[in-house]
Amino acid sequence: MSKLPSYRQPSACQGRSNCAACSLREDMVCADVPLDDVVGFHTQAVDYRFPPGTIMQNTHGPVEAVYCVRQGAVKLVKYDANGGQRIVRVMKRGDVVGIDWAFSGSAESTAVAIGEVHACRIPVDFFRQFTARHADLQIRLLRKSQEALREVELWLAQLVGGAIPARVRVARLLLRLRDGDGERIHRLSNEDLGAILGLTEETISRVIAGFLREGMLERAGSSLAARYLRADIAALERVAGQD
């Protein structure tokens, strides 16, 4: 019945034989590294696929690899005493998951695949050696780290604000989940949206139901499980503007 390949374990991608052909090379961290060096790299970092929900790194678990995301998204989650989850970061195409635990040696959050994820897997030891040898790569990583910091600060200021009403916060988050510049919006579960904003599942549901009713949002595709929403961007921006 299913048209998707059935895979239960991450599987190596056989489609590409080296990084020279990688369409992402410009965007990736290794952009500045000479191609000759990357070839050695490539024997380590093959392109893997991770099914939805795969736990790529556990909090305080053994640190084995870092990942360059090529497609899909990865969430970094922290759990509180009651088992409630809080998403502290979402990493997308071109981001490097695990710089933090590669350097510190211990992971302070859990990394989970949202939807299907394609990523290059680089063993930490190799990653450490490799970065130590390439100054350009260090600069790249520093920039990535700064970008991440900027993103999280934006979350703090605009998304999780105390007095900001739920409607506004959800609108702002949806706008940040756009697929490129189009009107398609990446659809996370209500639970995940809540875990990002610090709101409950129910509140998210009510707010989004409101947007649907007002015609600012509609489900793309027929089924409930559609991976995207179609949005009236201008209308969302109007809601997001009022604080």
Partner DNA sequence: CGTGTACTTGAGTGGGCTCAAGCAGGGTGG
Partner DNA sequence: CCACCCTGCTTGAGCCCACTCAAGTACACG
Q: Is 150 in the site for its own copies (CB under 8 A)?
A: yes
Residues 188 and 223: their CA atoms lie apart, in Å, by 15
How would you classify residue 26: left for phi > 0, otherwise alpha for psi between -120 and 50, otherwise beta? alpha
How would you classify residue 198: left for phi > 0, otherwise alpha for psi between -120 and 50, otherwise beta? left
Contact partner at residue 54 from DNA, its own copies, none, CB < 5 to 8 Å by partner kind: none
Q: In the complex with its own copies, which residue's Cβ is closer, 22 or 195?
A: 195
Token representation of residue 18: 């080296």
CB of 18 to its own copies, least distance (A): 28
Query: Which residue among 129, 146, 205, 242 contacts DNA (CB under 7 A)?
Result: 205
Q: Which helix (H) or strand (E) holds 133?
A: helix 124-133
Q: Is 99 in the site for its own copies (CB under 8 A)?
A: yes
Cα separations in angstroms, 133 against 53, 130, 149? 34, 5, 25
Query: Which residue among 189, 227, 241, 242 contacts DNA (CB under 7 A)?
Result: 189
Query: Which residue among 78, 93, 128, 167 contacts DNA (CB under 7 A)?
Result: 167
Site of tokens 């989650």? 77
Q: In the complex with DNA, which residue's Cβ is closer, 111 or 114?
A: 114
**Contact residues for DNA, defined by CB under 7 A:** 1-2, 162-163, 165-167, 189-191, 198-206, 208-209, 223-225
